[in-house]
Amino acid sequence: MLVVLSMIVFALLYLMPGDPARSLIGARPVSPELLASIRAEYHLDDPIWEQYLRWVTGFLHGDLGTSIKTGLPVSQMIQGRAEVTLQLAVLAGLVSAAIGIPAGVIAAHRQGSALDRGINATAVAMLSAPSFALGLLSLYVFAVWLGWFPVYGLGDGGTLDLLWHLFLPVMTLAAGVLASIIKVTRIAMIREVNSDYTGFSRSRGLRESKITRAQVGNAALPIVTSTGLVLATLVSGTVLVEVTFAIGGLGSLLAEAVTFKDVPVVQAVTLLLAVAICTTTAVVDTLVIVLDPRLRRRRRRKSRNVTTLAGAEA
Amino acid sequence: MSARSPRQARKTLLAIAVSAMATALLAVTGCTTGQAPAGGGSSAPGAPLESLKVATASQLGTLSVNQEAGIANYQIAALFQEGLLGLDNAGALVPALAESWTQTDNKVWKFQIRKDVKFSDGTPVTVEDILFSVEVARDPKKSPGVSVYWPTNITSVKQTGDWEITFTLDAPNNAFGSDVSNAGGLFVTSKAFYEKAKSYGSATDLIVGTGPYTVTEFDPTSHVSLAKNENYWGTNDGPATVRIDFITDDATRQVAFQQGQADVALGVPLDQSEQWGASGATVQFYGDRSYQGLTFDPNVAPFNDIHVRNAIAMAVDKSGIVAGILKGKAAAATGIDSPEQLAPLVGLDAAKAGVAKLPGASFSLENAKAELAKSSHADGFTTALTYPTGYPAVGKASLAIADSLSKIGITVNVKEVTLDSWLNDLGNGKAGLEWMIYLPTTSIPNEISSWLLAASGPGANPANWTDDKLAAQVAAINSIDDKQKQFDEIMATTSVALEQSIYVPVYWGQAALATRKGVVANDFGSYTLQTNWAAAFTQSA
């Protein structure tokens, strides 16, 4: 899949109008010889397949290439930025799940109440608000008006200072995902809350906490599956958040590289993000197997069948 | 089911309402809460700042101007790297690593190198270091950003004395001094450092230079920090340290500035200067010497008809664009090189008077219609006009021009394209109508017009225009020593292009910076950012 993705991205960039060599020079007079010399340095006149092969060979040998814009090794450019984006996305994912799932459960339990309507309305608002607008709003309220958080950057201090600087960007990034998780959890939980087993459990006098635990367990499958899908959108959401809070991460680097047609950088960042999304999906799939007893049983039965068949053949 | 909690719901709604009210309040008053100002120091008026914190709209990928030659790269490098010559606040060439220079016939340029200069790492500057830096700068593979500044007609670069370097050109070039300055194409570094560096200009290989400051930290994702270069050969009255934060989003930069997290903000959006001026801050404007104008390719129909070009020139309401779109923070262009660019030749007032006399069509839709009627496209036609992303004022000006032209029967489809795509299409021989946006870095008086008027045929200028007589006249400007005569010739050659409506100048741009209360920008002009600009900021009374 990653190979196909790298090919598609490479081809799309190749088809995009523009010449990175011209961008390096800017709107200044340039002789055809000098322009040709710069193009040759970055192999821009080579056929597309040759350019792709050169990139793949380098990639397989751990060389991500050299940025056309900065002339620096791509691995060096993405090193620090990947860490920032990862921190941003992981924290936003954790916050989304930690707030979204309980909020959805509470809303389902109090279906139709003012609290349910409040949670729903907040979720709709968070889902509808563009992240840059939400980012600016939180900047004005929490950084300017209340003065609780810094306006931009990641600070120069330790872990606590970093977390303090990341708070607003993380909350901004988490907002949309959090809202989706609330909606999904609420719907999944309402089905459980209104189910017959909930009624029977209550009539038999089971503790409410025990019933809720059973409901959450049964609703876990759709919640985890949907959460996995929406978490993947966190990665694409980092672009605007990084720009608003002046945090140099992979998102802003990718946007800049696409505009400049800086092929080696775009290729590396795209693949890195694809790997992150694949990893998230794999983790979610594993969690689904762990959470769903039917799938566990089916896997166990399948392996038992294989063992039996193998025994029979022997 | 558990009991409902209206109290909790009310709290949620209250929080939302408070947030909304706060935003509304801030939007109306532009109010900010104060934090300790970023710059330290005593309160003596005019005293230098101990530290200077700058918020800029640009972001650097590398410190090497040789590679990435954006205007912000030049401005930041002006603090830590030098060429043989430099610029003063008025744009005149001044000694830098060369303590003096002479030229013969504008062809043989001799530079006497300053002795006993050290790089910021304490190693001595040798003639070999300078020759090496020249070699790197001229190599398009090593220096794609600045190699374009170097004339192709250099026949030799040699050490001609213990402390002398001589450049020999095969044709006169009176602007060569600018080419070897750090406003043009030369950024001297240590040969040993360059060869040792794994990634020159990156955060791990902080460039070693001879400027008034030395880079102490560079993080391309956030900032660059500098401290006074203890080995600097000259005097530096600026702050002990300078930190430049990259905040590309205008709104975030404004909030950070108003929160006191920066002493100075560069790249203040012209249309938001009033908001930036709140809380005692000062917004200052200066001509950035940029040229924005239309280019016609006279080889492409219908722009091969002079009546069509004249009609469009008459339909461009420059004053309306400057007043309405740029809120008066620009000047309606009557020529190609701005008065600030020409000022080093004859002074600003004389330059302004000179460009005001240049021929050019006055705005009149009636005359434009009549002119179009004389053309072979009397009923009008449809054409396209693209502008690059990141230039919203040019986009708005495009729409204003399209609106005017629609009244005389010409339909203009305005389209925004990426900067990369726009650059690639410049003078491609297919588009008949294009924007030219040019921001000069050097103080060469005709830096822009020497390209636009190089009318020796397709590829030589963005209009692909041919006028051999004019091309020869423009080339001859390079050998004129007399400044007044040079100015007169620039005016004369520009007149030819305007009379033929090859170019329609629209406006000369301005830039704005903001200083917080307590900080003042002294004598800040069009060339200050090419000098040790950190020293221009001091405490105010």
Give the helix ranges, DSSP H, for chain A: 2-15, 20-25, 32-41, 48-60, 74-109, 114-128, 131-138, 159-193, 196-203, 208-244, 250-260, 263-291, 293-313
Are B61 and A67 within 8 A, CB to CB? yes
pLDDT at residue number B79: 98
pLDDT at residue number B389: 85
- Cβ atoms of A234 and A177 closer than 8 Å: yes
Collapse the DSSP code of A290 into the 3-class scheme (helix H, G, I; strand E, B; otherwise coil) and give the result: helix
Provide the sign of the torsion angle of the four alpha carbons A263, A265, A267, A269, taken in this order. negative
CA nearest neighbour of B179 among B137, B144, B210: B137
Q: B214 to each of B121, B188, B197, B231, B264, how far by Cα in Å?
A: 9, 13, 17, 9, 20
For residue B256, give the nearest of A34, A140, A151 by CB distance.
A151
Q: State the maximum Cα–Cα separation within chain B, in Å, rounded to a whole number.
A: 97
pLDDT at residue number B147: 93
Tell me the pLDDT tens digit for each residue of B296-325.
999 999 999 999 999 999 999 999 999 999
Exposed / middle / buried, residue A72 (Cβ in 10 Å: 0-12, 13-18, 19+): buried
- Cβ atoms of B208 and B192 closer than 8 Å: no
Mean pLDDT across B381-406? 94
Are A140 and B5 within 8 A, CB to CB? no
C-alpha A122: how far from chain center: 22
- Cβ atoms of B270 and B341 closer than 8 Å: no
Name the least confident of A22-31, A70-79, B65-74, B95-104: A22-31
DSSP code for A144: I
Report the half-sphere exposure of A2 (CA within 13 A, side-chain side): 16
pLDDT band of A11, cuts 50, 70, 90: confident
Answer whether A29 touches B (CB < 8 Å).
Answer: yes
CA nearest neighbour of B176 among B289, B85, B73, B82: B85
Sequence-separated contacts (24+) of A219-222 with Cβ below 8 Å = A219/A185, A219/A188, A219/A189, A219/A191, A219/A192, A220/A291, A221/A288, A221/A291, A221/A292, A222/A184, A222/A187, A222/A188
Q: Which amino acid is at B322?
A: V
pLDDT at residue number B435: 97
Name the least confident of B2-11, B365-374, B454-463, B496-505: B2-11
Are B246 and A248 within 8 A, CB to CB? yes
CA distance A281 to chain B (A): 29
Are B219 and A80 within 8 A, CB to CB? yes
As a whole number of angstroms, the distance between CA B282 and CA B519 comes to: 9
Please state, for a pLDDT cut of 70, what percent of chain B lies above it. Answer: 91
Q: Which residues pair with A210 in a beta bridge?
A: none
CA nearest neighbour of B229 among B212, B241, B243, B208: B212
Are B248 and A243 within 8 A, CB to CB? yes
Nearest chain A Cα to B143, which residue?
A: A38
Name the least confident of A194-203, B151-160, B236-245, B281-290: A194-203
- Cβ atoms of B224 and B76 closer than 8 Å: yes
Mean pLDDT across B169-182? 94
Are B33 and A23 within 8 A, CB to CB? no
Predicted-complex ipTM score: 0.79
Chain B partners within 8 Å of A193 (Cβ): 1
> Which A residues, 158 through 197, put their C-beta within 8 Å of a C-beta on chain B?
193
For residue A26, give the nearest of B9, B33, B423 by CB distance.
B423
Chain A partners within 8 Å of B145 (Cβ): 24-25
As a whole number of angstroms, the distance between CA B279 and CA B30 comes to: 8
Are A152 and B247 within 8 A, CB to CB? yes
As a whole number of angstroms, the distance between CA B149 and CA B183 comes to: 10
CA distance B16 to chain A (A): 9
Chain B partners within 8 Å of A245 (Cβ): 252
As a whole number of angstroms, the distance between CA B526 and CA B522 comes to: 13
Q: B251 to each of B16, B38, B180, B238, how far by Cα in Å?
A: 22, 19, 38, 29
Q: Which amino acid is at A242?
A: E
Q: What is the mean pLDDT of chain B?
A: 89
Find where tokens 């109306």 sit: B28
- How is domain A74-301 classified at the CATH fold level? MetI-like fold (1.10.3720)
Q: What would the two tokens of residue B526 be?
A: 């069009």
Answer whether A123 touches B (CB < 8 Å).
Answer: no
Q: How many helices (H) and strands (E) does chain B have?
A: 17, 19
pLDDT at residue number B302: 95
- Cβ atoms of B9 and A115 closer than 8 Å: yes
Tell me the pLDDT tens digit for each residue of B235-283.
999 999 999 999 988 889 998 998 889 999 999 988 888 888 877 889 9
- Cβ atoms of B77 and B182 closer than 8 Å: yes
Nearest chain A Cα to B258, which residue?
A: A144
- Cβ atoms of A211 and A202 closer than 8 Å: yes
Find where tokens 């004022």 sit: B393
Domain ranges of chain A: 2-60, 74-301
pLDDT at residue number B45: 53
Q: Which amino acid is at A99?
A: I
pLDDT at residue number A199: 87
Q: What would the two tokens of residue B55 be?
A: 């918020």
C-alpha B175: how far from chain center: 18
Q: Which residues pair with B538 in a beta bridge?
A: B48, B520
For residue B12, give the nearest of A122, A137, A139 by CB distance.
A122
B363 CB-near residues (< 8 Å, 6+ apart): B314, B315, B316, B317, B318, B319, B320
